[in-house]
Amino acid sequence: MYRRNSVFALAVLGLALVASAAAKPALDMPRLFQTRPKPPPPSLAFSYRGWRIDASKAARVQSPARTVRAIKAQIDIVERLGLKPEVLAFMRAQPIACDGRSDPAAEASDYVPGRGVVLHARRLDARKPILLYALLKAYQAQRLPGGFDNPDVASLRRQAAARRVWPKTARMLQSNDEFFALSAAAYLYGAITREPYTRADLRKTEPQCYRWLAALFDDGRPRT
């Protein structure tokens, strides 16, 4: 009798445990099958490698992750150029912001005196030195004697126009700041999509400008 009662009690307990487990399946579901929350988007006001960026206006034209990734790629280009410490420190100190334009024809970057460097987020390309171009304009405005009216740059631009190697409509010939920014970008980075195109082209067509840039950025030791 005692044994029969014990078996009966165990059977009842087992049924109770099964019923309890069936009543709360969600509580015992393995965490492996639960959905993990997505990480929040990166901040558009951020610091990277000593640079400070405010890209908050770009939120209206593309995802924050894409904007941050594109700007970091531009900074990486400048950081890899082997610039002199004082030149790199100057560039890192420049305010950098993104606009909220969605116009595909808008300039990818520019320097606005009193405001700093402005990037067009949707035009950034990791293969092109877009940030460098604008930073070089800032460097001319703030570090070269006479700024945009620097006499050396003006003379080199006149010489380039007189040689007629490049079309009259070439952007580098339209103003002193364009001449300096594009020539220096080709010299430092090696290749750009506008005249003078490459460092080799600059050395061949504008040898005096090539040597002047070497003196300015590399203590007279030209890049090859």
Task: Report pLDDT for 104.
Answer: 80
Look-up of token digits 């029969």:
4
Q: Do 111 and 148 reside in the same domain of the chain?
A: no
d(CA 193, CA 164): 19
31 belongs to a structural domain: no
Q: What is the pLDDT of residues 73-121, one digit of tens each?
A: 999 999 999 999 999 999 999 999 998 887 888 889 999 999 999 999 9
The number of folded domains in the chain is 2
> Is 180 contained in some domain?
yes
Q: In 3D, which of 100, 212, 203, 113 has the Cα closest to residue 153?
A: 212
φ, ψ at 29 (rounded to 5°): -65, 135
Q: Is residue 160 part of a domain?
A: yes
Structure pTM?
A: 0.83
* Domain that includes residue 174, residue range: 144-224
CB atoms within 10 A of CB 153: 24
List the one residue out of 111, 210, 212 whose CA is nearest residue 152.
212
| 64 plus 109 within the same structural domain | yes
As averages over each run of 10 residues, the pLDDT of the chain (224 residues) reads: 47 46 51 73 96 96 96 98 98 95 86 96 96 98 98 98 97 98 98 98 98 98 96
**Where a domain ends, among 94, 126, 158?**
126
**Is there a single domain that holds both residue 121 and residue 149?**
no
Residue 26 domain flag? no
> Which residue, of 126, 152, 179, is where some domain finishes?
126
Q: Are residues 90 and 165 in the same domain?
A: no
Q: Is residue 8 part of a domain?
A: no
**Residue 24 pLDDT:** 52
User: 151: Cβ–Cβ under 8 A, 6 or more apart, which residues?
Assistant: 145
* Rounded distance between C-alpha atoms, residue 111 and residue 96, angstroms: 9
**Residue 192 counted as domain residue:** yes
Alpha-helical regions (H) of the chain: 2-23, 64-79, 85-92, 130-143, 151-163, 176-189, 199-205, 207-218
